[in-house]
Structure 1
Amino acid sequence: MSGLSRRNHEAESELEKKLQQRRTVDYFTPIGKYMITKNVYNRRRRRALPIGSIRPAASYVTDLPPSLISSPSIVDLSSKFVHISTNKSKHAIHAVKWTPDARRVLVSSYSGEFTLWNGLTFNFESIMQAHDVPIFSLEYSHSGKWLISGDMSGCIKFWQPNFNNVNILSKAHENTVGELAFSPNDSKFLSCSDDQTLKVWDFSTATEECTLKGHHWDVKGCDWHSSLGLVVSGSKDNLVKLWDPRDGTCITTLHDFKHTVSKTVFQKGGNERLLAACSRDHSTRIFDLRMLRAVSVIKSDKETDLTSLAWHPIHSTMLSIGGYDGSLSHYDVSKTADIEAFSRSAPKPELNGDKVPGSASKSGGSNVSDYLLNTYVNRGAPIVSEAWHSIPYAHDRAIYTMEYHPLGHMLCTAGADKSMRFWCRARPGDDAGFNDAAHLGAAAANVAKIDDAKEDNGAESKGNHGNSTEGNALPGFSIPGFS
């Protein structure tokens, strides 16, 4: 290798080193320990004021504070790619769950295996053969003492947190168990299957209490409300049904979708009165349980099927949606228009044709746009097509499942591309945070990295040779106007 080619090779290697971005996750920062120690009380004296402690070092400051309800929700947006984790034997992933201690991620694969990944360093920890057939559902109890899983053959297994198998319901369903959900007090759990039924089980005795029948095709998703005696299900027959789990009666049926309902999830925080459901008709609808109708419709900007969704555990109005094309989008439900907010001021349309929608009424009412007026007249839900933040290339294929960390600072997604990916909050002022393959695509990301490297290299050379002349002129001998 000649001297020139060696220098070029070294320059390219230096460029590659500069292109590497530091992956950071604000997980268990020292500020948490400081917040605890500053409120320590003197145990020797009763009714004493807290002793407290001063900040021991400058490192006890974090750029990103913990996720709080009082903080703006835009701060806690999981928009930056952190890490990708894959097994040696790659299989599609249909369910992921954070363990009760929130330190690890449990993954169930199409091969019937349980895989544990560390939630801080993202390294592999353990693997075991849990089922003989593909696993499609996982659910931890609210107390964190039990785990249940369902597979393609209709079998449901009971596990302890150390993955000791204690019970098996070999014929719980006649077909694939699509999803599982525990009741608020963990005494019962719900299962849905492709055999067109849902079943309510007594957890302590492992016996079936009632069967919910009413769907005419595969039941793809279900959920149990965290504080109400209410169960929801979504099916391949385009229907969303609300059930009473005590006697198994159907309360109401929602006919808003035009294709398979992929996922149905109750709101986890706030007033817990919203229901989100996504479908393969390219839409996600937000239903108000008090009115039993849709209050917002989220349309996919890429006209793609929607396969998964998840509510943020801290900010009750933040919703994340995964698509069949591998895209990941975040929405703020509170930013959507509300029909009741403008119903009083909305002008009524004139029957004689003198007035057109959007013009001022004779009574002097305020003007509203055609969009809002038509929404009010048709009693339909406002349509939202622009995401708060969109990651178009989050996965190479469909996203089947996603799960937020209980603290709300990290999101885990997995799907048909046989990989699991972690997303965290971006650092403030990080210009290169979104110049990656997830946001730009692989080809565009490589071009962006090369351009940034050239700019950095050019800035360095300009700084090192600020007084040098261009071309072949010798330093110090250039004549102004002739060089």
Structure 2
Amino acid sequence: MPFPVHPKSTALQDHLGAVHIVKYNTTGQYILSGGFDKQIRLWNPNTSRLVKTYSGHGYEVLDIAVSFDNSKFVSCGGDRTIYVWDVTTGTTVRRFSGHIARVNSVDFNFDASVVASASFDSSVRLWDLRAPSAKPIQILDDAKDSVSTVQITNTQIITGSVDEYVRVYDLRMGELQEDYIGHPVTSVRDSTDGAYFLVSSLDNTIRLIDKSNGSLLQSFTGHKNAEYRIRSCFGDNDIYAISGSEDSIIYVWEVLSGRIVHELKGGNSDAVVTCIDYNPKKAQMVSGTTDGKIQVWDTD
């Protein structure tokens, strides 16, 4: 099956410095980006128009998550602070602090009542948006090094850490499952059906892990990822695994076979493609690089 995204791309206005995160909203109509310049930008990917800029972070923006109803988003970064924003007004609804080092990753639960934040301080903190208190309702401190990524599903919290573990916290059973990857983890993405997850690590390898028993289902290689935090994702209903690379290429693998089916030039020759996201509603994706470029890859 041919990869549906065309190699022709549309460039959006550059960030000043590296782009650390690009993220579609749940309908795929808008893109949020954040980077070294402390700015968060809202884009219309179909018109390439900059819709709004959100300013507030004192240091670089490292991650963004959008609520399911698209009314708000949460961001984090080098200033150790978590901001919850109203998309329309551009104002901050809540602000949380308590981490003692940069915050690498954030996510909402399904109804956006709780935010999880993962930090360089080796902890994951949970914040209740309904409570007046700005203190965390729970701290997960099982990691022994920087927690690079966090994702909340309906029943689990999934984290990846530089200590080379993926940890799955089962919220119903109150249990913790630890899967040893053997290399620092930069990205974890849960599958649509929740049966497995995609793990990027600093050994030039992406792994597909069976969540039920921690077994390796597939490995994806050919890209370069030994130094930078590079995010991978699924594409086209989990048919493909997609990742940026330190050689400026976007690599696409077929999940079942593990073979590379497409390569896209994602940036200048000295740029790293750090982040990528696939449109949840159609064959389109977005990428960001260390030289500030954002590109939308479409079927046209």
TM-score by length of 1: 0.50
Task: State the distance in 1 between where 2:224 and 2:196 align.
Answer: 24
Q: Does 1:402 align with 2:288?
A: no
The verdict on how the C-alpha distance between 1:425 and 1:193 changes in structure 2, with shifts beyond 3 A counting, is closer
1:275 to 150, 153, 157: 157
The verdict on how the C-alpha distance between 1:121 and 1:145 changes in structure 2, with shifts beyond 3 A counting, is closer
| Corresponding position of 1:64 | none
Q: Does 1:168 align with 2:50?
A: no
183-192 vs 134-143, greater mean Cα deviation: 134-143
Deviation, 1:134, is 1.6
1:149 to 13, 25, 33: 33
SS at match of 1:423: strand
Q: Does 1:237 align with 2:66?
A: no
Deviation, 1:159, is 1.5
| Corresponding position of 1:129 | 13
| Corresponding position of 1:92 | none
Contact between 1:184 and 1:226, CA under 8 Å: does it hold in 2? yes
1:185 to 49, 62, 69: 69
Task: State the distance in 1 between where 2:102 and 2:42 align.
Answer: 24
SS at match of 2:125: strand
| Corresponding position of 1:299 | 180
TM-score by length of 2: 0.78
| Corresponding position of 1:388 | 217
Q: Deviations over 1:400-447 (max 9, x none)?
A: 1112124221121113332210011446xxxxx7699xxxxxxxxxxx
Contact between 1:263 and 1:277, CA under 8 Å: does it hold in 2? yes
| Corresponding position of 2:205 | 327
Q: Does 1:416 align with 2:300?
A: no
| Corresponding position of 1:253 | 139
Deviation, 1:211, is 0.8
Deviation, 1:293, is 4.5
Task: State the distance in 2 between where 1:325 and 1:279 align.
Answer: 14
SS at match of 2:163: coil
SS at match of 2:204: coil
Contact between 2:230 and 2:245, CA under 8 Å: does it hold in 1? yes
Deviation, 1:121, is 5.5
Higher strand share: 2
Letter in 2 for 1:298: D
Number of residue equivalences: 256
| Corresponding position of 1:310 | 189
Deviation, 1:226, is 2.2
Structure 1 unmatched runs, 5+: 1-23, 26-118, 337-383, 428-432, 437-483
Percentage identity across paired residues of the two chains: 25
| Corresponding position of 1:352 | none
Task: State the distance in 2 between where 1:434 and 1:156 align.
Answer: 35
Contact between 1:328 and 1:394, CA under 8 Å: does it hold in 2? no
Structure 2 unmatched runs, 5+: 262-300
Task: State the distance in 2 between where 1:190 and 1:264 align.
Answer: 13
Deviation, 1:254, is 0.6
Q: Deviations over 1:148-207 (max 9, x none)?
A: 2111121111222322112222x3201111111111211111001111110111111100
Q: Alignment RMSD, CA only?
A: 2.2
Q: How does 1:188-227 map to 2 (within 5 A)?
A: 188-227=72-111
SS at match of 1:165: strand
Contact between 2:198 and 2:233, CA under 8 Å: does it hold in 1? no
Ranked by relative contact order (alpha carbons within 8 Å, sequence separation 6 or more), the top structure is 2
Task: State the distance in 2 between where 1:138 and 1:410 align.
Answer: 18
Higher helix share: 1
Deviation, 1:143, is 2.6
The verdict on how the C-alpha distance between 1:230 and 1:293 changes in structure 2, with shifts beyond 3 A counting, is farther
Contact between 1:280 and 1:306, CA under 8 Å: does it hold in 2? yes
Deviation, 1:228, is 5.4
2:166 to 280, 284, 298: 284
Task: State the distance in 2 between where 1:406 and 1:434 align.
Answer: 16
